[in-house]
Chain A
């Protein structure tokens, strides 16, 4: 399957060939990913979409280097993935902000590690806090922020290290619908401005069509690429438009096939 999208397919930001991931749980082997072939072009926005258990987070964690593939080839920015690194910055669903650091210190953390000079650090942090509307909250601790604010801090924190790639694991899943929409718009604005490569895991069909250049629909166990749906709609996209809804119907049908398999599997497991 040729999975290359827009951009220079000769040097993809992410390249996966035959990626397979097997977990052994309680003496039983579970194939989480199998035969994943995927190219993500630099600057492309790709959504991984599928029901629970389709391995979309497993694939993201493999790209991030937290949990390496059992077999297959996986390269990021031309280098094989061997572990986590700041060039593949991750935004987690649970925010993962350091609760003992203020907003400002959280955002500055990556720069501190990289050994940036204090003046430079200050400059970058100030700019990012302003960009994400966090300036007034810089001295707050995460516990005093709303979910939307926390996710803004998490985004600012990875933008601070200026990673060419953003890996996002259902980052807006825990937010209410309105906050989610405004963060989606903010993310698109940042993406358009900074030209990052984004891999965004979600189980939101509308979210994936609203955001992505291409939606990678994955199958339920083992996780494989079921179909790659290009979204050619111009941005900003209107979720109430006919074209949007036609795509949504198509993608929903694909995802629901897998959801049905997921449910059949669960019913089976309960029956056992």
Chain B
């Protein structure tokens, strides 16, 4: 490892490690009850237990990886991510075509914009009562809320992206003989892609927030439900282990999106590599 990167690694670890040590010290000194603030070590132990399979390995029951992922945590992560994916695909799937048309056609924009401006400031969480009235409990209201959360960021950015397409590209394409269809698919969409991807990234972020909230209300599986359940049993170590897991999932999603962004926008000025 180069000395520069060693120094960077050290600098990036100073604050988290100091905080962890302080936290551990406070817990060991007995200044606060473990119920309010469990020690990091207790959280770590709980996290491993949360992650680990509940049954001993049995070769007859299935392959080893299925056993390794049979713990409560992998199951919760899978459930939450699945809800994000379904909700996001619904929300973005509606927002993208609408945004493209609103951006490209002033008439469509004028028709839809007033309604959207009124609906947009309503936080998705404010739809919870309505979501439960309409869809009951279980996955449907969660999908609805997540889709709603993803919808507006994707829509707004797509509209802005299409409207920001430099007219010179349209002129150049028309000049080369492009029809409306080619213009739309080969020029407008790629030119708007930086904005669209920003919208998708924000949309996934909102979807991630909304899935946790939705799971605290409408369902009894997933990461959001798990930390609420842990609170009912006063398992504060498990609450924190769950929060930590949520943070890791968010980080993983964001890193994945960032990589995808970098690849899709490799032509773009602002993106290197």
Residue numbers of A with Cβ under 8 A of B are: 64, 66, 83-86, 88-90, 92, 94, 96-102, 109-110, 113-114, 141-143, 157-158, 161
Q: Measured between alpha carbons, how far is A94 from B169 in the docked complex, in Å?
A: 10
Contacts of B182 in A (CB 8 A): 113
Q: Measured between alpha carbons, how far is A66 from B74 in the docked complex, in Å?
A: 59
Residue numbers of B with Cβ under 8 A of A are: 168-169, 171-179, 182, 186-187, 190-191, 193, 266-269
Q: Measured between alpha carbons, how far is A84 from B167 in the docked complex, in Å?
A: 14
Q: Measured between alpha carbons, how far is A41 from B116 in the docked complex, in Å?
A: 55
Q: Measured between alpha carbons, how far is A157 from B175 in the docked complex, in Å?
A: 11
Known pairs A86-B176, A99-B268 / 10 extra A-B pairs, C-beta < 8 Å: A84-B174, A84-B175, A86-B175, A90-B171, A98-B173, A99-B269, A100-B191, A113-B177, A113-B178, A143-B269
* Among all A-B residue pairs, the 8 with the closest Cβ atoms: A86-B177, A110-B176, A96-B172, A100-B190, A141-B267, A84-B174, A100-B267, A96-B168
Complex partner residue of B171 from A84, A85, A86, A100, CB under 8 angstroms: A84
Complex partner residue of A96 from B171, B186, B267, CB under 8 angstroms: B171
Q: Are A92 and B177 in contact (CB under 8 A)?
A: no
User: Chain A's nearest CB lies how many Å from the CB of B242?
Assistant: 41
Q: Are B169 and A96 in contact (CB under 8 A)?
A: yes
Q: Measured between alpha carbons, how far is A94 from B179 in the docked complex, in Å?
A: 22
26 A/B residue pairs, CB under 8 Å, sorted by A = A64-B175, A66-B171, A66-B174, A84-B175, A85-B177, A88-B175, A89-B175, A90-B171, A90-B172, A94-B168, A96-B169, A96-B172, A98-B172, A98-B173, A98-B190, A99-B269, A101-B190, A101-B267, A109-B186, A110-B176, A113-B177, A113-B179, A114-B177, A143-B267, A143-B268, A161-B176
User: Chain A's nearest CB lies how many Å from the CB of B134?
Assistant: 41
Contacts of B267 in A (CB 8 A): 99-102, 141-143
Q: Are B187 and A98 in contact (CB under 8 A)?
A: yes
Q: Measured between alpha carbons, how far is A113 from B266 in the docked complex, in Å?
A: 24
User: Chain B's nearest CB lies how many Å from the CB of A59?
Assistant: 16
Contacts of B177 in A (CB 8 A): 85-86, 110, 113-114, 161
Contacts of B172 in A (CB 8 A): 90, 92, 96-98
User: Chain A's nearest CB lies how many Å from the CB of B174?
Assistant: 4
Most chain-B Cβ atoms within 10 A of its Cβ — which of A64, A143, A158, A161?
A143
Q: Are B176 and A157 in contact (CB under 8 A)?
A: yes
User: Chain B's nearest CB lies how many Å from the CB of A146?
Assistant: 14
User: Chain B's nearest CB lies how many Å from the CB of A113?
Assistant: 5
Most chain-B Cβ atoms within 10 A of its Cβ — which of A66, A86, A113?
A113
Q: Which residue of B lies closest to A86 (CB)?
A: B177
Complex partner residue of A113 from B176, B268, B269, CB under 8 angstroms: B176
Contacts of A85 in B (CB 8 A): 175, 177
Q: Are B266 and A98 in contact (CB under 8 A)?
A: no
Q: Which residue of A lies closest to B183 (CB)?
A: A113
Complex partner residue of B176 from A83, A99, A109, A142, CB under 8 angstroms: A109
